[in-house]
Structure 1
Amino acid sequence: MPVPDGVFSGSIAENYARYMVPLIFEPYAADLARRASARSPHSVLETAAGTGVVPRFLLPLLPDDATYVATDLNQPMLDIAASAVTDPRVRWQQADAQELPFGDASFDLVLCQFGAMFFPDRVGAYREARRVLSSGGAFVFAVWDSLDANDFAAEVTAELAEMFPDDPPRFMARTPHGYHDVSLIEREIADAGFTAVSTDTVTAQSVAPSALVAATAYCQGTPVRLEIEERDADRLQEATERSAARLAARFGDDEVRGRIRAHVVTASG
Protein backbone atom coordinates (compact mmCIF):
# COMPACT_ATOMS: atom_id res chain seq x y z
CA MET A 1 0.00 0.00 0.00
CA PRO A 2 1.51 3.39 -0.97
CA VAL A 3 2.71 5.60 1.87
CA PRO A 4 1.01 9.04 1.94
CA ASP A 5 3.08 11.83 0.40
CA GLY A 6 3.25 13.79 3.63
CA VAL A 7 5.03 11.13 5.68
CA PHE A 8 8.64 11.98 6.53
CA SER A 9 10.18 9.55 9.02
CA GLY A 10 13.31 7.57 9.78
CA SER A 11 16.24 8.12 7.45
CA ILE A 12 14.07 10.20 5.10
CA ALA A 13 13.68 12.87 7.80
CA GLU A 14 17.41 12.72 8.57
CA ASN A 15 18.45 12.97 4.91
CA TYR A 16 15.89 15.71 4.35
CA ALA A 17 17.55 17.80 7.06
CA ARG A 18 21.07 16.94 5.92
CA TYR A 19 20.67 17.31 2.16
CA MET A 20 17.35 18.85 1.08
CA VAL A 21 17.30 21.79 3.48
CA PRO A 22 20.58 23.38 2.31
CA LEU A 23 19.91 22.39 -1.29
CA ILE A 24 16.55 24.08 -1.87
CA PHE A 25 14.94 25.35 1.35
CA GLU A 26 17.52 27.71 2.84
CA PRO A 27 17.27 30.39 0.12
CA TYR A 28 13.53 30.65 0.61
CA ALA A 29 13.79 30.49 4.40
CA ALA A 30 16.00 33.57 4.24
CA ASP A 31 13.48 35.27 1.93
CA LEU A 32 10.55 34.36 4.18
CA ALA A 33 12.44 35.59 7.24
CA ARG A 34 13.04 38.98 5.63
CA ARG A 35 9.36 39.32 4.73
CA ALA A 36 8.27 38.23 8.18
CA SER A 37 10.65 40.45 10.14
CA ALA A 38 9.53 43.49 8.14
CA ARG A 39 6.14 43.10 9.86
CA SER A 40 7.74 43.23 13.33
CA PRO A 41 5.71 40.30 14.68
CA HIS A 42 5.68 39.39 18.37
CA SER A 43 3.70 36.15 18.12
CA VAL A 44 4.49 33.82 15.23
CA LEU A 45 2.97 30.49 14.27
CA GLU A 46 4.58 28.28 11.65
CA THR A 47 2.71 25.32 10.22
CA ALA A 48 4.42 22.42 8.43
CA ALA A 49 7.69 23.65 9.97
CA GLY A 50 9.63 20.51 9.06
CA THR A 51 13.13 20.42 10.52
CA GLY A 52 13.10 24.09 11.48
CA VAL A 53 14.89 25.96 8.73
CA VAL A 54 12.70 29.10 8.88
CA PRO A 55 13.23 29.78 12.61
CA ARG A 56 16.99 29.53 12.11
CA PHE A 57 16.77 32.54 9.80
CA LEU A 58 13.91 34.42 11.45
CA LEU A 59 14.68 34.20 15.16
CA PRO A 60 17.77 36.45 14.98
CA LEU A 61 15.55 39.13 13.43
CA LEU A 62 12.82 38.99 16.09
CA PRO A 63 12.69 40.93 19.38
CA ASP A 64 13.77 39.17 22.55
CA ASP A 65 10.19 39.01 23.84
CA ALA A 66 8.77 37.41 20.69
CA THR A 67 7.15 33.99 20.82
CA TYR A 68 7.39 31.39 18.05
CA VAL A 69 5.29 28.23 17.86
CA ALA A 70 6.52 25.78 15.23
CA THR A 71 4.18 22.93 14.31
CA ASP A 72 4.32 19.95 12.00
CA LEU A 73 2.31 16.77 11.50
CA ASN A 74 5.48 14.65 11.56
CA GLN A 75 7.03 14.29 15.01
CA PRO A 76 10.36 12.94 13.63
CA MET A 77 10.84 16.22 11.75
CA LEU A 78 10.13 18.24 14.90
CA ASP A 79 12.55 16.12 16.91
CA ILE A 80 15.33 17.00 14.49
CA ALA A 81 14.31 20.66 14.56
CA ALA A 82 14.25 20.82 18.35
CA SER A 83 17.75 19.37 18.58
CA ALA A 84 19.09 21.92 16.10
CA VAL A 85 17.26 25.07 17.29
CA THR A 86 17.34 25.56 21.06
CA ASP A 87 16.19 29.18 21.27
CA PRO A 88 13.88 29.44 24.31
CA ARG A 89 11.44 31.60 22.35
CA VAL A 90 10.43 28.56 20.26
CA ARG A 91 7.90 25.92 21.21
CA TRP A 92 7.79 22.80 19.02
CA GLN A 93 4.37 21.20 18.82
CA GLN A 94 2.89 18.43 16.73
CA ALA A 95 -0.27 19.73 15.08
CA ASP A 96 -2.36 19.44 11.94
CA ALA A 97 -2.52 22.71 9.99
CA GLN A 98 -6.12 21.86 9.11
CA GLU A 99 -7.15 21.64 12.80
CA LEU A 100 -4.96 24.04 14.74
CA PRO A 101 -5.14 23.62 18.54
CA PHE A 102 -4.98 27.38 19.20
CA GLY A 103 -7.57 29.98 20.06
CA ASP A 104 -8.90 32.62 17.71
CA ALA A 105 -6.64 35.64 17.11
CA SER A 106 -3.68 34.02 18.88
CA PHE A 107 -0.90 35.15 16.51
CA ASP A 108 -0.02 38.23 14.51
CA LEU A 109 1.83 36.23 11.84
CA VAL A 110 1.33 32.74 10.40
CA LEU A 111 4.02 31.22 8.18
CA CYS A 112 4.11 28.09 6.07
CA GLN A 113 7.09 27.23 3.89
CA PHE A 114 6.37 24.55 1.26
CA GLY A 115 3.68 22.79 3.26
CA ALA A 116 0.45 23.84 1.55
CA MET A 117 0.99 21.37 -1.31
CA PHE A 118 0.60 18.52 1.19
CA PHE A 119 -2.68 19.67 2.77
CA PRO A 120 -5.63 17.44 1.75
CA ASP A 121 -7.94 20.39 2.47
CA ARG A 122 -6.01 23.53 1.57
CA VAL A 123 -8.97 25.89 1.92
CA GLY A 124 -9.63 24.44 5.36
CA ALA A 125 -5.99 24.97 6.35
CA TYR A 126 -6.11 28.54 5.05
CA ARG A 127 -9.29 29.16 7.07
CA GLU A 128 -7.50 27.90 10.16
CA ALA A 129 -4.59 30.25 9.50
CA ARG A 130 -7.03 33.14 9.20
CA ARG A 131 -8.89 32.11 12.35
CA VAL A 132 -5.79 32.20 14.56
CA LEU A 133 -4.58 35.53 13.13
CA SER A 134 -5.17 38.67 15.14
CA SER A 135 -6.60 41.77 13.49
CA GLY A 136 -4.09 43.22 11.07
CA GLY A 137 -2.08 40.00 10.95
CA ALA A 138 -0.81 38.25 7.84
CA PHE A 139 -0.43 34.75 6.48
CA VAL A 140 2.75 34.30 4.43
CA PHE A 141 3.51 31.04 2.68
CA ALA A 142 5.58 29.60 -0.16
CA VAL A 143 4.82 26.87 -2.70
CA TRP A 144 7.01 25.52 -5.48
CA ASP A 145 6.48 26.51 -9.08
CA SER A 146 6.07 23.81 -11.75
CA LEU A 147 8.50 20.93 -12.11
CA ASP A 148 9.98 22.29 -15.33
CA ALA A 149 10.98 25.48 -13.50
CA ASN A 150 13.05 23.53 -10.94
CA ASP A 151 16.07 21.97 -12.61
CA PHE A 152 17.31 19.26 -10.27
CA ALA A 153 13.84 17.96 -9.42
CA ALA A 154 12.94 17.77 -13.11
CA GLU A 155 16.11 15.89 -14.04
CA VAL A 156 15.77 13.34 -11.23
CA THR A 157 12.11 12.76 -12.10
CA ALA A 158 13.02 12.23 -15.76
CA GLU A 159 15.77 9.74 -14.88
CA LEU A 160 13.48 7.73 -12.63
CA ALA A 161 10.87 7.64 -15.40
CA GLU A 162 13.47 6.03 -17.66
CA MET A 163 14.43 3.57 -14.94
CA PHE A 164 10.83 2.57 -14.20
CA PRO A 165 9.04 3.22 -17.52
CA ASP A 166 5.96 1.13 -16.69
CA ASP A 167 5.30 2.89 -13.39
CA PRO A 168 7.42 6.05 -13.03
CA PRO A 169 7.75 7.67 -9.60
CA ARG A 170 5.76 10.89 -9.75
CA PHE A 171 5.96 12.27 -6.22
CA MET A 172 7.86 15.42 -7.23
CA ALA A 173 5.46 16.31 -10.04
CA ARG A 174 2.37 15.24 -8.12
CA THR A 175 2.91 16.98 -4.80
CA PRO A 176 5.79 19.44 -4.28
CA HIS A 177 5.38 20.81 -7.80
CA GLY A 178 1.71 20.00 -8.26
CA TYR A 179 0.24 23.20 -6.77
CA HIS A 180 1.69 26.04 -8.79
CA ASP A 181 -1.27 27.68 -10.54
CA VAL A 182 -1.29 31.18 -9.07
CA SER A 183 -4.91 31.82 -10.05
CA LEU A 184 -5.99 28.65 -8.23
CA ILE A 185 -3.90 29.52 -5.16
CA GLU A 186 -5.35 33.03 -4.95
CA ARG A 187 -8.88 31.72 -5.49
CA GLU A 188 -8.51 29.25 -2.63
CA ILE A 189 -7.10 31.97 -0.39
CA ALA A 190 -10.16 34.09 -1.18
CA ASP A 191 -12.44 31.08 -0.51
CA ALA A 192 -10.86 30.87 2.95
CA GLY A 193 -11.98 34.43 3.70
CA PHE A 194 -8.86 36.50 3.07
CA THR A 195 -9.64 39.76 1.31
CA ALA A 196 -6.15 40.89 0.28
CA VAL A 197 -3.55 38.70 -1.41
CA SER A 198 -0.33 39.31 -3.29
CA THR A 199 1.98 36.77 -4.94
CA ASP A 200 5.65 37.10 -5.83
CA THR A 201 7.41 34.55 -8.01
CA VAL A 202 10.96 34.17 -6.69
CA THR A 203 13.78 32.49 -8.61
CA ALA A 204 16.84 31.31 -6.69
CA GLN A 205 19.76 28.96 -7.16
CA SER A 206 20.14 25.46 -5.82
CA VAL A 207 23.76 24.57 -5.02
CA ALA A 208 25.27 21.23 -4.05
CA PRO A 209 28.92 20.21 -3.61
CA SER A 210 28.41 17.39 -6.11
CA ALA A 211 25.80 15.84 -8.36
CA LEU A 212 25.71 12.82 -6.03
CA VAL A 213 24.75 15.00 -3.06
CA ALA A 214 21.91 16.57 -5.07
CA ALA A 215 20.71 13.16 -6.27
CA THR A 216 20.88 11.73 -2.73
CA ALA A 217 18.76 14.63 -1.50
CA TYR A 218 15.93 13.86 -3.89
CA CYS A 219 16.16 10.07 -3.97
CA GLN A 220 16.74 9.48 -0.27
CA GLY A 221 15.60 12.64 1.52
CA THR A 222 12.02 12.78 0.21
CA PRO A 223 9.14 10.30 -0.26
CA VAL A 224 10.68 9.59 -3.68
CA ARG A 225 12.66 7.00 -1.72
CA LEU A 226 9.46 5.19 -0.81
CA GLU A 227 8.33 5.23 -4.43
CA ILE A 228 11.62 3.69 -5.57
CA GLU A 229 11.52 1.02 -2.87
CA GLU A 230 7.90 0.17 -3.68
CA ARG A 231 9.00 -0.61 -7.23
CA ASP A 232 12.23 -2.43 -6.36
CA ALA A 233 13.64 -2.30 -2.84
CA ASP A 234 17.11 -3.30 -4.07
CA ARG A 235 17.54 -0.46 -6.56
CA LEU A 236 17.64 2.63 -4.35
CA GLN A 237 21.38 3.13 -4.69
CA GLU A 238 21.23 2.48 -8.43
CA ALA A 239 18.49 5.09 -8.76
CA THR A 240 20.56 7.57 -6.79
CA GLU A 241 23.68 6.98 -8.88
CA ARG A 242 21.78 7.13 -12.17
CA SER A 243 20.19 10.41 -11.12
CA ALA A 244 23.62 11.74 -10.12
CA ALA A 245 25.06 10.80 -13.51
CA ARG A 246 22.22 12.63 -15.25
CA LEU A 247 22.75 15.73 -13.14
CA ALA A 248 26.50 15.63 -13.75
CA ALA A 249 25.98 15.36 -17.50
CA ARG A 250 24.01 18.60 -17.47
CA PHE A 251 25.50 20.59 -14.61
CA GLY A 252 29.08 19.32 -14.27
CA ASP A 253 31.07 16.86 -12.20
CA ASP A 254 31.97 19.04 -9.20
CA GLU A 255 29.81 21.72 -7.57
CA VAL A 256 26.44 21.80 -9.31
CA ARG A 257 24.06 24.74 -9.62
CA GLY A 258 20.50 24.72 -10.86
CA ARG A 259 17.46 26.98 -10.97
CA ILE A 260 14.72 26.76 -8.36
CA ARG A 261 11.52 28.81 -8.51
CA ALA A 262 8.66 29.31 -6.08
CA HIS A 263 5.63 31.50 -5.40
CA VAL A 264 5.54 33.46 -2.14
CA VAL A 265 2.02 34.48 -1.12
CA THR A 266 0.99 37.11 1.44
CA ALA A 267 -2.64 37.15 2.55
CA SER A 268 -4.48 39.35 5.01
CA GLY A 269 -7.92 40.71 5.79
Structure 2
Amino acid sequence: MAEIDKVFAGSIPAFYDTLMVPMIFEAYAAATAALVAATSPRTVLETAAGSGVVTRALAPQLDADTCYVVSDLNRPMLDFAAARQGPDARIGWRQVDALDLPFDDATFDVVCCQFGAMFFPDRVAGYAEARRVLKPGGRFVFCVWDRIEENAFADEVTQAVAAVFPHDPPRFLARTPHGYHDVARIRDDLRRAGFADIKIETREEVSRAASAHDAATAYCQGTPLRNEIETRDASLLQYATDRAAAAIANRHGNGPVAGKIQAHVIVAAG
Protein backbone atom coordinates (compact mmCIF):
# COMPACT_ATOMS: atom_id res chain seq x y z
CA MET A 1 0.00 0.00 0.00
CA ALA A 2 1.31 3.44 -0.92
CA GLU A 3 1.59 6.07 1.82
CA ILE A 4 -0.75 8.34 -0.16
CA ASP A 5 -3.51 5.69 0.22
CA LYS A 6 -3.92 6.66 3.88
CA VAL A 7 -4.48 10.39 3.36
CA PHE A 8 -8.13 11.29 3.98
CA ALA A 9 -7.93 15.07 4.40
CA GLY A 10 -9.09 18.36 2.90
CA SER A 11 -12.48 17.98 1.23
CA ILE A 12 -12.25 14.17 1.09
CA PRO A 13 -14.09 13.44 4.40
CA ALA A 14 -17.15 15.48 3.37
CA PHE A 15 -17.35 13.94 -0.13
CA TYR A 16 -16.73 10.52 1.42
CA ASP A 17 -19.54 10.83 3.95
CA THR A 18 -22.17 12.49 1.76
CA LEU A 19 -21.62 10.41 -1.38
CA MET A 20 -19.55 7.30 -0.67
CA VAL A 21 -21.12 6.26 2.63
CA PRO A 22 -24.74 5.95 1.43
CA MET A 23 -23.59 4.40 -1.84
CA ILE A 24 -21.51 1.48 -0.56
CA PHE A 25 -21.05 1.51 3.23
CA GLU A 26 -24.48 1.84 4.85
CA ALA A 27 -25.73 -1.66 4.02
CA TYR A 28 -22.62 -3.27 5.48
CA ALA A 29 -22.67 -0.90 8.47
CA ALA A 30 -26.10 -2.20 9.38
CA ALA A 31 -24.86 -5.80 9.18
CA THR A 32 -21.75 -5.00 11.23
CA ALA A 33 -23.77 -3.18 13.88
CA ALA A 34 -26.20 -6.09 14.16
CA LEU A 35 -23.37 -8.58 14.67
CA VAL A 36 -21.74 -6.40 17.32
CA ALA A 37 -24.97 -5.70 19.19
CA ALA A 38 -26.17 -9.31 19.11
CA THR A 39 -24.30 -10.27 22.30
CA SER A 40 -25.20 -7.08 24.23
CA PRO A 41 -21.56 -6.08 24.81
CA ARG A 42 -20.64 -3.79 27.71
CA THR A 43 -17.36 -2.65 26.17
CA VAL A 44 -16.81 -2.04 22.45
CA LEU A 45 -13.81 -0.77 20.51
CA GLU A 46 -14.22 0.40 16.93
CA THR A 47 -11.02 0.90 14.94
CA ALA A 48 -10.63 2.66 11.58
CA ALA A 49 -14.06 4.23 12.13
CA GLY A 50 -13.76 6.62 9.19
CA SER A 51 -16.60 9.13 9.08
CA GLY A 52 -18.64 7.12 11.59
CA VAL A 53 -21.16 5.14 9.54
CA VAL A 54 -20.92 2.08 11.83
CA THR A 55 -20.91 4.31 14.90
CA ARG A 56 -24.22 5.87 13.86
CA ALA A 57 -25.73 2.44 13.16
CA LEU A 58 -24.41 0.78 16.33
CA ALA A 59 -24.82 3.42 19.05
CA PRO A 60 -28.66 3.25 19.14
CA GLN A 61 -28.44 -0.53 19.67
CA LEU A 62 -26.12 -0.40 22.69
CA ASP A 63 -27.27 -0.24 26.30
CA ALA A 64 -27.12 3.02 28.24
CA ASP A 65 -24.17 1.83 30.35
CA THR A 66 -22.05 0.54 27.46
CA CYS A 67 -18.53 1.94 27.08
CA TYR A 68 -17.93 2.54 23.35
CA VAL A 69 -14.51 3.71 22.17
CA VAL A 70 -14.50 4.96 18.57
CA SER A 71 -11.08 5.39 17.00
CA ASP A 72 -9.31 6.17 13.77
CA LEU A 73 -5.72 6.91 12.80
CA ASN A 74 -6.81 9.82 10.63
CA ARG A 75 -7.68 12.90 12.70
CA PRO A 76 -9.76 14.75 10.03
CA MET A 77 -12.00 11.70 9.57
CA LEU A 78 -12.34 11.17 13.33
CA ASP A 79 -13.24 14.82 13.92
CA PHE A 80 -15.82 14.63 11.13
CA ALA A 81 -17.33 11.46 12.64
CA ALA A 82 -17.53 12.99 16.13
CA ALA A 83 -19.21 16.15 14.84
CA ARG A 84 -21.67 14.11 12.77
CA GLN A 85 -22.54 11.80 15.69
CA GLY A 86 -23.12 14.57 18.22
CA PRO A 87 -22.92 14.31 22.03
CA ASP A 88 -23.13 10.80 23.50
CA ALA A 89 -21.74 10.17 26.98
CA ARG A 90 -21.13 6.50 26.16
CA ILE A 91 -18.70 7.28 23.32
CA GLY A 92 -15.05 8.18 23.70
CA TRP A 93 -13.29 9.43 20.58
CA ARG A 94 -9.60 8.46 20.26
CA GLN A 95 -6.99 8.96 17.56
CA VAL A 96 -5.48 5.49 17.64
CA ASP A 97 -3.27 3.28 15.50
CA ALA A 98 -5.01 -0.10 15.20
CA LEU A 99 -1.58 -1.76 15.14
CA ASP A 100 -0.58 -0.22 18.48
CA LEU A 101 -3.67 -0.04 20.68
CA PRO A 102 -3.20 1.98 23.90
CA PHE A 103 -5.45 -0.31 25.94
CA ASP A 104 -4.81 -3.03 28.51
CA ASP A 105 -5.16 -6.70 27.68
CA ALA A 106 -8.68 -8.15 27.90
CA THR A 107 -10.48 -4.79 27.95
CA PHE A 108 -13.26 -5.17 25.35
CA ASP A 109 -16.10 -7.60 24.67
CA VAL A 110 -16.06 -6.74 20.94
CA VAL A 111 -13.60 -5.09 18.59
CA CYS A 112 -15.09 -4.04 15.24
CA CYS A 113 -13.53 -2.59 12.13
CA GLN A 114 -15.50 -2.01 8.96
CA PHE A 115 -13.35 -1.79 5.80
CA GLY A 116 -10.20 -0.74 7.63
CA ALA A 117 -8.08 -3.91 7.61
CA MET A 118 -7.12 -3.40 3.96
CA PHE A 119 -5.22 -0.27 5.06
CA PHE A 120 -3.21 -2.03 7.80
CA PRO A 121 0.49 -2.14 6.84
CA ASP A 122 0.78 -5.37 8.86
CA ARG A 123 -2.55 -7.15 9.10
CA VAL A 124 -1.37 -9.99 11.33
CA ALA A 125 -0.06 -7.42 13.82
CA GLY A 126 -3.36 -5.54 13.65
CA TYR A 127 -5.36 -8.71 14.23
CA ALA A 128 -3.08 -9.72 17.09
CA GLU A 129 -3.67 -6.35 18.74
CA ALA A 130 -7.44 -6.81 18.40
CA ARG A 131 -7.15 -10.24 20.00
CA ARG A 132 -4.93 -8.92 22.81
CA VAL A 133 -7.49 -6.32 23.94
CA LEU A 134 -10.44 -8.73 23.70
CA LYS A 135 -11.76 -10.37 26.84
CA PRO A 136 -11.91 -14.19 26.90
CA GLY A 137 -14.76 -15.17 24.61
CA GLY A 138 -14.71 -11.77 22.90
CA ARG A 139 -15.26 -11.33 19.17
CA PHE A 140 -13.51 -9.43 16.41
CA VAL A 141 -16.02 -8.29 13.74
CA PHE A 142 -14.77 -6.75 10.50
CA CYS A 143 -15.41 -6.40 6.77
CA VAL A 144 -13.17 -6.26 3.71
CA TRP A 145 -14.11 -5.73 0.08
CA ASP A 146 -14.06 -8.60 -2.39
CA ARG A 147 -12.04 -8.32 -5.63
CA ILE A 148 -12.63 -5.18 -7.67
CA GLU A 149 -14.22 -7.14 -10.53
CA GLU A 150 -17.11 -7.99 -8.16
CA ASN A 151 -17.71 -4.27 -7.44
CA ALA A 152 -19.12 -2.61 -10.53
CA PHE A 153 -18.63 1.12 -9.98
CA ALA A 154 -15.14 0.77 -8.49
CA ASP A 155 -14.03 -1.34 -11.45
CA GLU A 156 -15.53 1.03 -14.02
CA VAL A 157 -14.01 4.10 -12.37
CA THR A 158 -10.59 2.46 -12.22
CA GLN A 159 -10.66 1.61 -15.92
CA ALA A 160 -11.91 5.05 -16.93
CA VAL A 161 -9.30 6.93 -14.89
CA ALA A 162 -6.58 4.62 -16.18
CA ALA A 163 -7.46 5.72 -19.71
CA VAL A 164 -6.84 9.36 -18.70
CA PHE A 165 -3.34 8.44 -17.45
CA PRO A 166 -2.39 5.48 -19.67
CA HIS A 167 1.34 5.66 -18.88
CA ASP A 168 0.84 5.80 -15.10
CA PRO A 169 -2.69 4.63 -14.24
CA PRO A 170 -3.94 5.38 -10.70
CA ARG A 171 -4.56 2.04 -9.01
CA PHE A 172 -5.68 3.03 -5.51
CA LEU A 173 -9.05 1.26 -5.65
CA ALA A 174 -7.66 -2.03 -6.95
CA ARG A 175 -4.49 -1.85 -4.86
CA THR A 176 -5.90 -1.05 -1.43
CA PRO A 177 -9.70 -1.19 -0.85
CA HIS A 178 -10.01 -4.21 -3.16
CA GLY A 179 -6.51 -5.59 -2.73
CA TYR A 180 -7.17 -7.89 0.26
CA HIS A 181 -9.91 -10.22 -0.92
CA ASP A 182 -8.47 -13.74 -0.79
CA VAL A 183 -10.47 -15.68 1.83
CA ALA A 184 -7.73 -18.26 2.38
CA ARG A 185 -5.23 -15.50 3.04
CA ILE A 186 -7.60 -13.76 5.47
CA ARG A 187 -8.12 -17.01 7.40
CA ASP A 188 -4.38 -17.64 7.52
CA ASP A 189 -3.64 -14.12 8.76
CA LEU A 190 -6.25 -14.48 11.52
CA ARG A 191 -4.89 -17.87 12.59
CA ARG A 192 -1.37 -16.45 12.71
CA ALA A 193 -2.72 -13.71 14.99
CA GLY A 194 -4.12 -16.35 17.36
CA PHE A 195 -7.77 -16.61 16.34
CA ALA A 196 -9.16 -20.14 16.11
CA ASP A 197 -12.89 -19.71 15.45
CA ILE A 198 -13.25 -17.85 12.13
CA LYS A 199 -16.48 -17.36 10.21
CA ILE A 200 -16.46 -15.60 6.82
CA GLU A 201 -19.60 -14.74 4.87
CA THR A 202 -19.38 -13.24 1.38
CA ARG A 203 -22.28 -10.82 0.98
CA GLU A 204 -23.54 -9.23 -2.21
CA GLU A 205 -25.37 -5.91 -1.94
CA VAL A 206 -26.54 -3.23 -4.38
CA SER A 207 -24.73 0.09 -4.65
CA ARG A 208 -27.03 3.00 -5.53
CA ALA A 209 -26.38 6.62 -6.45
CA ALA A 210 -28.60 9.45 -7.63
CA SER A 211 -26.60 9.68 -10.83
CA ALA A 212 -23.50 8.39 -12.57
CA HIS A 213 -21.88 11.74 -11.82
CA ASP A 214 -22.49 11.32 -8.08
CA ALA A 215 -20.99 7.82 -8.16
CA ALA A 216 -17.93 9.01 -10.07
CA THR A 217 -17.48 12.02 -7.78
CA ALA A 218 -17.64 9.75 -4.73
CA TYR A 219 -14.77 7.60 -5.96
CA CYS A 220 -12.66 10.27 -7.68
CA GLN A 221 -13.02 13.02 -5.08
CA GLY A 222 -14.12 11.25 -1.89
CA THR A 223 -11.28 8.74 -1.61
CA PRO A 224 -7.46 8.86 -1.87
CA LEU A 225 -7.92 8.19 -5.59
CA ARG A 226 -8.20 11.99 -5.67
CA ASN A 227 -4.65 12.25 -4.29
CA GLU A 228 -3.37 9.96 -7.03
CA ILE A 229 -5.09 11.97 -9.76
CA GLU A 230 -3.88 15.32 -8.42
CA THR A 231 -0.34 14.02 -8.02
CA ARG A 232 -0.29 13.22 -11.73
CA ASP A 233 -2.09 16.41 -12.92
CA ALA A 234 -4.40 18.36 -10.61
CA SER A 235 -5.94 20.17 -13.58
CA LEU A 236 -7.39 16.86 -14.79
CA LEU A 237 -9.36 15.99 -11.64
CA GLN A 238 -12.71 17.12 -13.05
CA TYR A 239 -11.95 15.64 -16.46
CA ALA A 240 -11.11 12.28 -14.88
CA THR A 241 -14.31 12.46 -12.83
CA ASP A 242 -16.34 13.21 -15.95
CA ARG A 243 -14.76 10.29 -17.82
CA ALA A 244 -15.58 7.98 -14.92
CA ALA A 245 -19.17 9.28 -14.88
CA ALA A 246 -19.49 8.60 -18.60
CA ALA A 247 -18.24 5.04 -18.11
CA ILE A 248 -20.79 4.38 -15.36
CA ALA A 249 -23.62 5.96 -17.37
CA ASN A 250 -22.67 3.90 -20.42
CA ARG A 251 -23.09 0.71 -18.38
CA HIS A 252 -25.91 1.63 -16.01
CA GLY A 253 -27.85 4.35 -17.81
CA ASN A 254 -28.73 7.97 -17.08
CA GLY A 255 -30.57 9.04 -13.95
CA PRO A 256 -30.29 6.94 -10.76
CA VAL A 257 -27.77 4.10 -11.12
CA ALA A 258 -27.35 0.77 -9.35
CA GLY A 259 -24.48 -1.71 -9.45
CA LYS A 260 -23.25 -4.80 -7.65
CA ILE A 261 -20.99 -4.55 -4.61
CA GLN A 262 -19.57 -7.52 -2.70
CA ALA A 263 -17.63 -7.89 0.53
CA HIS A 264 -16.53 -10.45 3.11
CA VAL A 265 -18.02 -10.12 6.61
CA ILE A 266 -15.81 -11.80 9.21
CA VAL A 267 -16.31 -12.79 12.84
CA ALA A 268 -13.27 -14.19 14.64
CA ALA A 269 -12.91 -15.45 18.20
CA GLY A 270 -10.80 -17.74 20.34
Compute the TM-score of the two structures, normalised by the length of structure 2.
0.98
Contact 2:45–2:112 under 8 Å retained in 1? yes
- The aligned residue for residue 28 of structure 1 is 28
- The aligned residue for residue 167 of structure 2 is 166
- The aligned residue for residue 48 of structure 2 is 48
CA RMSD of aligned residues (A): 0.9
CA distance in 2, matches of 1:90, 1:254: 39
Residues 104-253 of structure 1: matches in 2 within 5 Å? Answer: 104-253=105-254
1:225 CA drift (Å): 0.5
CA distance in 1, matches of 2:114, 2:32: 8
CA distance in 2, matches of 1:180, 1:199: 11
CA distance in 1, matches of 2:263, 2:22: 16
Moved over 6 A (4+): none
1:165-188 Cα offsets, whole Å, 9 max, x none, are 111110000000000000000000
1:119-176 Cα offsets, whole Å, 9 max, x none, are 0010000000000000110001000000000000000001011111111110000000
**Uncovered stretches (5+) of structure 2, i.e. residues with no partner:** none
1:265 maps to a residue whose letter is I
Residues 244-263 of structure 1: matches in 2 within 5 Å? Answer: 244-263=245-264
CA distance in 1, matches of 2:203, 2:97: 27
1:55 CA drift (Å): 1.2
CA distance in 1, matches of 2:145, 2:186: 12
Contact 1:116–1:143 under 8 Å retained in 2? yes
Q: Secondary structure at the match of 2:5?
A: coil
CA distance in 2, matches of 1:265, 1:75: 26
1:4 CA drift (Å): 2.4
Contact 2:78–2:95 under 8 Å retained in 1? yes
1:168-212 Cα offsets, whole Å, 9 max, x none, are 110000000000000000000000001110100011111100110
CA distance in 1, matches of 2:249, 2:89: 42
CA distance in 1, matches of 2:36, 2:82: 21
Contact 1:204–1:260 under 8 Å retained in 2? yes
CA distance in 2, matches of 1:136, 1:80: 33
CA distance in 1, matches of 2:108, 2:227: 36
CA distance in 1, matches of 2:223, 2:146: 17
1:3 CA drift (Å): 4.7
- The aligned residue for residue 268 of structure 2 is 267
- The aligned residue for residue 13 of structure 1 is 13
CA distance in 2, matches of 1:39, 1:25: 23
CA distance in 2, matches of 1:100, 1:141: 17
Compute the TM-score of the two structures, normalised by the length of structure 1.
0.98
Q: Secondary structure at the match of 1:180?
A: coil
1:49 maps to a residue whose letter is A
Q: Percent identity?
A: 58
CA distance in 2, matches of 1:132, 1:253: 48
Contact 1:105–1:134 under 8 Å retained in 2? yes
